[in-house]
Every structure is written in C-alpha cells, then in structure tokens.
Amino acid sequence: MMPTLHMTRCLFCLLFAVSCPAQASNWLQLQGNEPAGAAALRVQGFVQPSYTYIDAGPISGLQGASAAHNGKYSTLNLNWPELQQAQQFQVIRAGLGARGRLSEEINYFLALDAGQNGVNYYHKASLSDASLTFNQIRGARVRAGLFKLPTSEEALLAINVSYPYVYNSNAVLYMLVGLPVEASGVVSRNGASAARLSSGFSGFRDWGVQVYDWFERGQWEYSYAAMVSNGAAIDTPGDNDSRKDLTLRLQASYLLGGQGPNRQDVSTFVWRQSGARQFGTEHYDMVREGLGMKYLQGAHRVTAEYLRASGMVVGGQTPPFVGQVFAVGVNEKAAGGYVEGGWRFQPKWEANLRYDYLDFMTETAANEREFATTTLGLQYFIDPATRAIFNYERRNMKVTSPLAIAAGAARNNALTIADDLGDRISLQLTWSF
C-alpha cells in the first residue's frame, strides 16, 4: 500500500529539518534559462534508437462478445504508437533544437521531436518546445510559450541527459502524460464513458505563461513556479475553451556542489495542477498533485514521489485491443508513486532499480485496477554524449475487486486480461550532439 499524503508530508517535513548531504537539480532554471555568457545560438539534438520486447503472446480465453479478440495481442502488450508489434525496433525520440540569449535579459528555446512516440501519434514530427524567458523582474522571471509544466520531477527530467530509464513509471504515465480525448457517446457521471483520442499526447507540456525564480540562502536554494496554461492539445497555441489550468510548484534544495543536471544536493518538492476539461457538452474538474524528494551525491541517487489524481481520469482502451474506445471517468480518482535509485559502481557503469505503483479508477469498484512494476536497469556511459540503457520490467496488473464485476464473461475477461500482462525488456541508445 502507498503511504497516505499526510504521512508523506511528515516525511518531507523531517527531511527539511535535517541537513543531510544529497543531490537534485533545479529543472525550472535549467530548462528556462541560459547561463551568463551563453551564445546567441546553440544548436543541439539527440536520437534514441530503442528495441523493446514484451514477453506475451496472443490472448486466449475471452468469453462473450470479447471472444472476437481471442488470438489478438492486448494493447498493453504492444509498442506505442503503432500498436502492431510486441517486439519492435524504433527511434522513440529524435529531437533537434536551438537555444540561446537574445540579450542579457531574454533567452529562448525551440525544439522539434520526430520520434515514434505518443506525442507524434498523428504527426511525423511535432513542435515540442517554443518559449521565450524574460529576466527583467527580480524574483519573478517570466517564461511564455510551449514547455514542460512544473509538475513531477520525473516529468521534468531532461530525457536525453538525466532520465535513467527507457519508459516512464505507471503513475506518471497514466496521470500526467496527457491524453486529449473527446466523448464518443453518452457521458456518465459515474463509472466510465467511451472516448477517442483527439490529438497526440501532451508529453508533460502545455502552452502558457509561467512566473518563477530561485533564491539562494547560504547552502539552501528555494524555488517556485506558477503557470497558467491552456489545458488543451499542444498541436496549436490556441485554446479550445476559455478555461485555463493553474500549476504550482515549490522546491527546497540543500546545495553540496556541482552545476547543471549533475548538481549535488538534496531536494524536496510539492506541486499541484488544477483545471477543467470539456468532455461531451460539459466541463469536468481535473486535479493532479504530488510531492517528493531526491537525493544524489557522488555515486548514489535516490528519488521518491507520491502522486494522486481526481476529477477527470483517462484510462486505456476497453477492452484493450486496437480500434477500441478509451475509458474515461469524469468523477474518478487515482493514486500512486515510485521509489527509485541508482549506483555508479564504476566510472562508466550505473545500476538502477525502480518500484512504481498505480491504483487506478478507485471510485468504481468494477473498474479499479492496480499496476505494480519493478524495473531493473543498467546504464553504460560510452562517452559524454553517448550512453546505453538496458531495462527489465517485471509488470503486474491486478483486478482490485473481481466480485464487483458481474459473474460470467465480464469477470472472466477482466481477470484474463490482467493475467495476460507481459514483462518488458528494452535496450536504448542515446546519442546527443
């Protein structure tokens, strides 16, 4: 069971009270600002060719109307975005961008993503970042455009520099990746309604304006961010309604040395995103919030984060087969988190371990599912610009309340689909330039 939010708050209050050495980075600063003396133009990019193998075969044993899917692969065992193969070689991400300083007080960041991922579900390539940062006001820097929301630490990590795994944790993926959907039938205020995707994933980003800054007090650094954003698909800067999201993040770090993504410190953070989404003819609340800590010093790293969601929650396809509708709860809840760590046991080798958990659709017993994944990882740093990652994920899915599902085909199918979830092996090369 995951700790309650109250228990987790107590843990992080304790961490604030002690000056234990550790490490984490200020991603608000790194992604939104350029260092003093930076060039007017810096072109950069990266590619991530990846191979994924999911240990699963075509499903069997489905009953009733779902028996038509026997002999097919569950989408839970297929690789996004094509959803065609249980094992696949693909370039998950291919980024190209430019950043720099237009003046001493104004900097910019532009980037495109041409990888095979959910953001590009309907496109060959997408604009992933396009922002200007204005540093004229002391204590209130302003960033405007398309960029990452100030939410989870995992979501903020620079994927080509600091993310130690191939795939996201379940909690971050299901609660934050952002699946714009539209109703494909009558909307129910209880249980789940049918929906279809209306655009690609948000990739943890949105169009908006953010006010933020950071302040050093001796060895302590405090930072904040407040962002007002569209809460819509990122394909266009336009909004699909007049409602906006508000996202807030606070972080405190005890500094121990180093700079950039490899800065050594211990950090604690809390964040909250609130807004509404149109589904059918009405708008429904959507709230995401979390808190966590990160420690990294020398050869060791530990991160822990707790997340929860309420209001509109988007699930997967139901039943989980290609061409089926997505399940959406408009008054649902979810909670989960992850604990992960790394050990650089040789200059070029790092071992990683992560456990993540997600309790999904908790307000409807028949729809509630629990996901738990243990990831064993190994990184090899070939040179400063190139690294390889190997991951083995032990994946588990549980039907929380099978007796809440009608006896017969419905209950049998739910348990059969859960038991069918396969473990996943992935190998990824990241080359930055």
Structure tokens given for 317: 């396809």
Give the residue ranges of the chain where pLDDT is below 70. 1-24
Closest of 326, 369, 360, 364 to residue 185, by C-alpha? 326
| Cβ-based neighbour number of residue 17 at 10 Å | 7
Show the tokens assigned to 354. 């992560």
Task: Please report the beta strands in 55-152, taking only residues with DSSP state E, as ranges in sequence order.
Answer: 87-101, 106-113, 126-134, 141-148
**Domain span including residue 344:** 5-432
The residue behind tokens 């500094």 is: 255
The domain that holds 81 is classified in CATH as 2.40.160.10
State the total domains in the chain: 1
Q: Which of 220, 279, 291 is nearest to 249 (CA)?
A: 291
Summarize pLDDT for 346-366 with one digit per residue, the tens: 999 999 999 999 999 999 999
Q: State the pLDDT at residue 43.
A: 97
pLDDT of residue 317: 93
Q: What pLDDT score was predicted for residue 20?
A: 32
| Cβ-contact 378, 428 below 8 angstroms | no
Residue 263 is predicted with a pLDDT of 85
Encoded tokens for 421: 């979830």
Q: Indicate the average pLDDT of the chain.
A: 92
pTM of the entire structure?
A: 0.91
pLDDT digits (tens, 9 = 90+) for 171-209: 999 999 878 899 999 999 999 999 999 989 999 999 999
Other CB atoms within a 10 A radius of the CB of residue 202 amount to 23
